[in-house]
Each structure stands twice: as C-alpha cells, then as structure tokens.
Amino acid sequence: MFKKIEETIVKLITEAFQKASDRDLLSPVSLPSIELQIPREKDHGDLASNIAMKVASQVRRPPAETAKVIVSLIEPELNQDTEIIRIEADPRKGFINFTINPSTLHKALRGILLSPVNGALVGWGGEEGITGIHQRQPNRTPNSGPWTAGGCRRCPGQPDD
C-alpha cells in the first residue's frame, strides 16, 4: 500500500511537470529520480519531495517558484477520495509536501496487521483487536508465568495476573 502511495505521488509529479512544459509554465526538463522523504516538521505533511530543488537549474527558476507551479497543477486533482488529500509548496525552500488521506493510512495499516508473515497472522486477533498479549498458555505450568508478545516471562512494566 505504501509503495502504491509513493507511485501515485511520483506519477502526479511527473504528469505535472509535463503539463507545465506543455502550457509553457516551465521549460521542459529531464526529470531525475523523484525521491520522497518524511518531513522533519509535522506541519509539512506526511511525505515531501525536493524535486523542485533538483531541477532548479534546468528550469532557471527558484525552487520555491517551481514547486508552486507544480502544486497548482496537482491540487485540482485532489479530493477526499484520493490517496493524497493535500499538497503544498514550501515557500522558503521549495519542497513539495503531501498529506496522505487518513482513510488510506488506515487501510494500509490494517492490511499490514492482518497480513500473514511466515505462516503466522500478525493481526493479533483480527477484527477483535489486539489479544493474546498477556494470556497464560495452556501447556505451561503455573510456575512458568504469563507469556508476553515479546516471548519473555515478564516484561518491565507489565501488570501481574
């Protein structure tokens, strides 16, 4: 799911640069690889790209101005049903910041929790939520103590039975 979100963002950016070139908003560019990173500041969304900085010399414009053009071309395509619900250009440095739709994140995390890994279900109880973290195992003696998710007898801070 996260790979799909990244692919969507890369596609949006690539198409926006093509539109900008077709509409003579930016000069044509040979796009380098589009990298996404998690912004340092939470106010800047969930993912960010520095592509406007990478192509600044090709388009002969400041990165912030390039980012603003790209954002203006992507923004009309976003709504509450898309994987990305908000995009903004950083006016100082030229990063393009993306906010992922919370329902998309919810689906992705649910998929991770319910996916089989090496034959075991990571979902810890599926629909009922996290269970089985602090239960006595039937084949254990009373002196063995409770088992925990970490597999140790008693983890620090864990309540007694």
33 inside domain: yes
CB 27 within 8 A of CB 59: yes
Number of domains in the chain: 1
**66 belongs to a structural domain:** yes
Q: What is the CATH number for 87?
A: 3.30.1360.70
Residue 122 lies in a domain: no
Q: Would you say residue 10 lies in a domain? A: yes
Confirm if 76 and 86 have CB atoms less than 8 A apart: no
Say how many C-beta atoms besides its own lie within 10 A of residue 95's C-beta: 23
**Structural domain boundaries enclosing 52:** 2-103
User: Is 123 a domain residue?
Assistant: no
Query: Which tens digits make up the pLDDT trace of 15-44?
Result: 999 999 999 999 998 999 999 999 888 888
For range 80-91, the mean pLDDT: 87
Q: Is residue 86 part of a domain?
A: yes
Lowest mean pLDDT among 23-37, 59-73, 82-96, 140-154: 140-154
121 within domain boundaries = no
Residue 108 lies in a domain: no
pTM score, whole prediction = 0.66
The whole-chain average pLDDT of the chain stands at: 77
> Per DSSP, what are the bridge partners of residue 36?
49
H helix or E strand, kind and range, residue 147: none
List of residues 6+ apart from 13 with CB closer than 8 A: 31, 34, 49, 51, 70, 74, 96
